[in-house]
Amino acid sequence: MKEVVVLSGKGGTGKTSIVGSLAALADDKVLADCDVDAADLHLLLSPSERVRNEFWSGQVARIDEDKCNECGLCQELCRFDAIKDFRVDAVSCEGCGFCSHVCPTEAITMRESMAGYWFISDTRYGPLVHARLGIAQENSGKLVAVVRQQAKQIAEEQGLDYIISDGPPGIGCPVISSLSGAGLALLVTEPSLSGIHDLERVLGVCRHFGVPAMVCINKYDLNEENTRQIESQCLSQGVEVVGRIPFDNVVTESIVQGVPVVEYSNGNVTREIERMWHLLR
Amino acid sequence: MIISIASGKGGTGKTLIATSLALSLSDAYKVQLLDCDVEEPNDHVLLRPEITGSKAVSISIPKVDEEKCTYCGQCAQVCAYNAIAVLGNQVLTFPQLCHGCGACCYLCPEKAITEESRETGVVEWGHSNGVGFAHGKLTVGEAMSPPVIRKVKEYANNKDGIVIIDVPPGTSCPVVEAIKGSAYCILVTEPTPFGLNDLALAVETVRELDIPCGVVLNRAGVGDNKVEDYCREKNIPILLTIPLDTEIARLYSRGIALVDGIPQWKSSFIQLFDKITEIVDERSRSAKR
């Protein structure tokens, strides 16, 4: 079984459109949407929800006003500025529990918080594991870990060849959680100076965690000079460029229609994504 | 006044808006731009600021003095992140998991734990074309961006002027950390189902924080009209519309700010700011009433 995670560093480079297309092209796979705080893959795959689970994670402090003698120790020790005027700001609280351990009147308790949901759905392309992190919640990395673990279990039970996952933008906690231990990272970039800068950083994360990476340059013809720069930088780092997708409004049109672009058009974009899948598999 | 620029979905044009807004206002106001997208900061690519200073961002992690330690296990018990463990006659620490809360150190009955700092990023500051600038960079391989974001925000030193904050994509803790304390939040989106889905999540986030918001619709002309319908229904103003234009995309790809490449856009950004000022003033008047 091979786990392919699609990442980008910079947001909006086309990860989800590519994962949707790979969903249509690959046989015997399970799909995972690891972008749990702005998940979009379901908009291309029309899933029907089969299983819904609550995601309980992290704790939030709560002060019992009747027991609190307003000594202020909790406020003084909290490093996250989460306590003001003897009240807890649940959004700032990181759930460390320091306050609850030191409160002399035992007025502070820690409570588990429901931080979102995860789902297993059926799509016409195969099973999809996806999630919804609650608004303004922490622990996106833990929810990503749940999504990956469920996808892996499905792949093992059903003897599937691939796990294909749509990763979050950035290089921090949920990206690391999506990437560590995966078989291959497909990095989707665009030929802008920002795209080049961000690709460099996410390549660094792949190296740090020892995950082999390949690169796809989306909208490559928007700036062919920058495209050449990306290619030569990849070459010098021994990273293969497996796709060069031209800019074409059919991609946006396919998103509006809610279908993967390879099922919407049979033009250059589709041919290039098909070619790329042959190199990835 | 602090104005943050957020989006939910990545790649909708936050950086384009943040940099052009800052450059458009710098003639008339004292403006500071803080890039809080510390995982992938890009404002510097367009502003090319002269960097005049930098400082490491560190969190405090435990250091155990094994001579004093009695292996009682109190530290492991109080750590909510499993960042310290006691196994027989050994204490193991996992710096990557530590949030730096300080509980283990404070609660150790033997006073065997002190704190040392671990670098997780850097903040750099400087200026560009009259715009004060600061950004943070999370070290590659590090997971936690909020401490770096908090540090960048400490460089807001412009109470009477305008502080513009470029927010990371998403809706979780780094976004909240960046947006907190803003007088207004601009949400940048595009007219597609992805843009709408993530806009709705971003709106919920800013409403949770009780910050007023308005929309900039980028790459208008492709896609559908559902973002406009949504904004009408939710009573969210569309403050500015930028058409899909490969010329704009090409300028961006070369690292040229929109208002530098096409100066006619300046007046649109000044109008955008005037609309925001009006909304924020009206809001503070009605709060006083």
CATH numbers and ranges of domains, chain B: 2-57+121-288 (3.40.50.300), 66-111 (3.30.70.20)
Average pLDDT, chain A: 96
A278 to each of A21, A25, A30, A78, how far by Cα in Å?
A: 13, 10, 18, 53
CA-CA-CA-CA dihedral for A24, A27, A32, A35, to nearest 10: -40
| pLDDT for residue B225 | 95
Domain membership of residue A52 (yes or no) is: no
| pLDDT (average), residues B244-259 | 96
Counting other chains too, the contacts that A142-146 makes at CB distance below 8 Å and 24 or more residues apart are: A142/A57, A142/A58, A142/A177, A143/A36, A143/A55, A143/A57, A143/A115, A143/A116, A143/A118, A143/A174, A144/A34, A144/A36, A144/A168, A144/A174, A144/A177, A144/A178, A145/A177, A146/A55, A146/A118
Same domain, A248 and A131: yes
CA-based nearest distance B74→chain A, Å: 11
Whichever domain contains A159, its CATH number is 3.40.50.300
Option in A168, A173, A249 nearest B143 (CB): A173
From CA B162, how far away is CA B157, in angstroms rounded? 10
| pLDDT for residue A256 | 96
Confidence of residue A96 (pLDDT cuts 50, 70, 90): very high
Domain membership of residue A216 (yes or no) is: yes
Same domain, A110 and A147: no
Q: Residues of chain A with pLDDT > 70: what percent?
A: 100
Nearest residue in A to B83, CA atom: A96
Name the pTM for this structure: 0.94
Range of the domain at A245: 2-46+124-280
| pLDDT (average), residues A155-176 | 97
pLDDT above 90 for B128: yes
| pLDDT (average), residues A145-153 | 97
| pLDDT for residue A239 | 98
pLDDT above 90 for A92: no
Contact A96 B172 (CB under 8 A): no
Domain-terminating residue out of A114, A143, A162: A114
Q: Is some CB atom of chain A closer than 8 A to the CB atom of B243?
A: no
Same domain, A234 and A268: yes
The total domain count for chain A is 2
Contact B45 A137 (CB under 8 A): no
Judged on CB neighbours under 10 Å (0-12, 13-18, 19+), B177 is buried
B38: tokens are: 């510390």
Confidence of residue B268 (pLDDT cuts 50, 70, 90): very high
Q: Cite the DSSP H helix spans in A85-223.
A: 98-102, 140-158, 173-179, 193-208
pLDDT tens profile A55-74: 998 899 999 999 999 999 99
**Please, are residues B224 and A249 in contact by the beta-carbon 8 Å criterion?**
no
Option in B99, B180, B246 nearest A94 (CB): B99
Contact A9 B40 (CB under 8 A): yes
Whichever domain contains A83, its CATH number is 3.30.70.20
Confidence of residue A90 (pLDDT cuts 50, 70, 90): confident
Domain membership of residue A67 (yes or no) is: yes
| pLDDT (average), residues A261-278 | 97
Domain membership of residue A51 (yes or no) is: no
pLDDT tens profile B152-186: 999 998 778 999 999 999 998 999 999 999 999 99
Amino acid at B4: S
pLDDT above 90 for A249: yes
Confidence of residue A11 (pLDDT cuts 50, 70, 90): very high
Same domain, A241 and A170: yes
Q: Residues of chain B with pLDDT > 70: what percent?
A: 100
| pLDDT (average), residues A101-106 | 97
Contact B102 A77 (CB under 8 A): yes
Residue B144 is classified by DSSP as -
Domain membership of residue A6 (yes or no) is: yes
| pLDDT (average), residues B81-86 | 95
Option in B40, B46, B205 nearest A10 (CB): B40
| pLDDT for residue B160 | 84
Domain membership of residue A66 (yes or no) is: yes
Q: Residues of chain B with pLDDT > 90: what percent?
A: 95
| pLDDT (average), residues A137-155 | 93
pLDDT above 90 for B46: yes
| pLDDT for residue B199 | 97
Same domain, A207 and A258: yes
Same domain, A13 and A70: no
Residues of chain A found within 8 Å of residue B106, distances taken between Cβ atoms: 77, 98, 102
Domain-terminating residue out of A96, A114, A132: A114
| pLDDT for residue A57 | 85
Cα end-to-end distance, chain A, whole Å: 11
Same domain, A128 and A263: yes
Domain membership of residue A275 (yes or no) is: yes
| pLDDT for residue A55 | 95
| pLDDT for residue B29 | 95
Interface test with B, best of A8, A10, A41, A140 (most B CBs within 10 A): A10
**Rg, Å, chain B Cα set:** 22
**Please, are residues A36 and A174 in contact by the beta-carbon 8 Å criterion?**
yes
Same domain, A154 and A225: yes
Same domain, A247 and A108: no
From CA B280, how far away is CA B149, in angstroms rounded? 24
Domain membership of residue A196 (yes or no) is: yes
pLDDT tens profile B183-212: 999 999 999 999 999 999 999 999 999 999
Same domain, A128 and A30: yes
Same domain, A109 and A224: no
| pLDDT for residue A91 | 84
Same domain, A246 and A273: yes
